[in-house]
Amino acid sequence: MNSLAKYITVASLGLVASATLHAQPNAVVYEGARLILGDESPAIESGAFVVQNGRVTAVGRKGSVKPPSGATHIDLTGKTVMPAMNNVHIHIGYEGYTSWSVNNHTPENVLDHLEREAFYGVGTAMSMGDQPADFAIKFQQDQLAGHFPPATRFFFAAGLAPPGGGPDSLLITGTTPLQAIYEVSSGDEARAAIRKIAALKIQQVKFWVDNRDNSRGGMKKMPPDVYTPLIEEAHKHGMLVHAHATNLQDQKGVVRAGVDVLVHTVANEKIDDELVALLKEKKPYWAPVMGLGDVAEICEDDDQFVEQVLPDSVIADVKAGKTWLPSTPCSAPVNAQREENLKSNFGRMMAAGARIVLSTDAGVSAKYSFGFAEHHEIARYVQFGMSPAQAMVVATSRPTEVLRIKDTGTLAKGKRADFMVLNANPLEDVHNTRKIDSVYLNGVKLDRAALQAKFKRASVPHATR
């Protein structure tokens, strides 16, 4: 299937909102809020910042920031402002909430997912190894050109795996018909694939080391003599390399081979001194992506934070364990061994200096989908020993190092005005990131009520079906 053939122009659907052109021509000064800057520095109590043409032009204490004359003043006394979050690991486009299918993979649906991310305060998100390159490049160009309404900025990484391998048994039903994965079975093939990817100017690659417990007929995992030259060639081309590895031996292998971003947390056993030593030596970024294996929040809470964007039928399906992979009903017991391993391993990896970056795996299950997954994931980091202040860095500025963008991630002069206004202070309780008053991307306030009404409807945003 030619994925570009599916790329009907979104513009013809009237989806091009004038809102994209509404970067504020006049300065706005937001004052009185506690400002979490997104870097390591302490929050500014009673701060002020100025936004002009979508950019932050000044930040400081209220009274010390001089807004330009004629600026509009917005009083945020009692609120907390933090930068929008940034997520280095999602799987976009296939989720349909009432279905999960390659047929859902359209620009409209990718945009819908990015709007869901934005609704929850996410500024950028990167889809990992699951997009056909031509489609993803065109979508990214169109978004950059302002052809879409305000939404989370889209990034993607090219994926490499052994023939028939790679993604889990659900995701592969999307990636195979779209030929989204570069299949490689030798070092030479890996190098050749990397050169093709480099020619497309793609800067991020992901490979999978996983036999999926042989569930797909004795599937082979990518061996070191394939991924070592893969990494070497990718580094020659200046790329950043992410490796999916879920068990201890494979994590050691990919870290030893020099991967830049280690993906997943070992959950079936405790990590050992050898991995800790490797982490200390190599200091990779680490995308823990734990939450997809957790009990669905829908089972626990009744605060509507998750439910507010899902059709009622989908909420019922998640509770019954009827949604797409992995489907665990609310009645299933918590896996206490997994909890213990995660807590132990997370603490040891954090102490070893692995540079944690926000990452969710959203997009393979309705129970853990775009936007709210980020809030769940950072709460887990804090539960396992990270301070809320560190979690703010992990969720905002550090992912931009992996994304290789300098224009967002902190509340600072010159950055895009990508921020969340919160009704409570997440430095006191990380769950307060959920108390969202409003979200601004590029200085534009999202119409969250309109978005929410759209998300609640149980239909995939298709153009032609």
Q: By C-beta, is 191 or 244 nearer to Zn ion?
A: 244
CB of 161 to Zn ion, least distance (A): 12
Say how far apart CA 352 and CA 281 lie, in whole Å. Answer: 9
345, 266 in Cβ contact below 8 A? yes
- The angle that helices 336-351 and 372-383 make with each other, rounded to 10 degrees, is 80
Residue nearest to Zn ion (CB): 361
Say how far apart CA 454 and CA 311 lie, in whole Å. Answer: 10
Query: Would you call 9 helix, strand, or coil by DSSP?
Result: coil
Q: By C-beta, is 288 or 461 nearer to Zn ion?
A: 288
Q: Is 361 a residue that touches Zn ion (CB under 5 A)?
A: yes
Say how far apart CA 7 and CA 267 lie, in whole Å. Answer: 39
Strand order in the sheet with 419-422: 34-35, 80-83, 419-422, 436-441, 444-445
CB of 175 to Zn ion, least distance (A): 11
CB of 48 to Zn ion, least distance (A): 40
398, 353 in Cβ contact below 8 A? no
CB of 464 to Zn ion, least distance (A): 29
The region of 95-103, 174-182, 357-365, 451-459 touching Zn ion under the rule CB under 5 A is: 357-365
Q: By C-beta, is 31 or 361 nearer to Zn ion?
A: 361
Q: By C-beta, is 92 or 446 nearer to Zn ion?
A: 92
Size of the site for Zn ion (CB under 5 A): 1
Say how far apart CA 40 and CA 138 lie, in whole Å. Answer: 36
Q: By C-beta, is 115 or 361 nearer to Zn ion?
A: 361
Residue 210: count other Cβ atoms within 10 Å of its Cβ.
21
The region of 27-35, 356-364, 402-410, 411-419 touching Zn ion under the rule CB under 5 A is: 356-364
CB of 319 to Zn ion, least distance (A): 24
35, 59 in Cβ contact below 8 A? yes
CB of 362 to Zn ion, least distance (A): 9
The region of 52-60, 177-185, 360-368, 436-444 touching Zn ion under the rule CB under 5 A is: 360-368
Q: By C-beta, is 37 or 292 nearer to Zn ion?
A: 292
Q: From residue 256 to residue 275, what is the string marking binding to Zn ion with x (rule CB under 5 A)?
A: --------------------
Say how far apart CA 332 and CA 170 lie, in whole Å. Answer: 21
Interacting residues toward Zn ion by CB under 5 A: 361
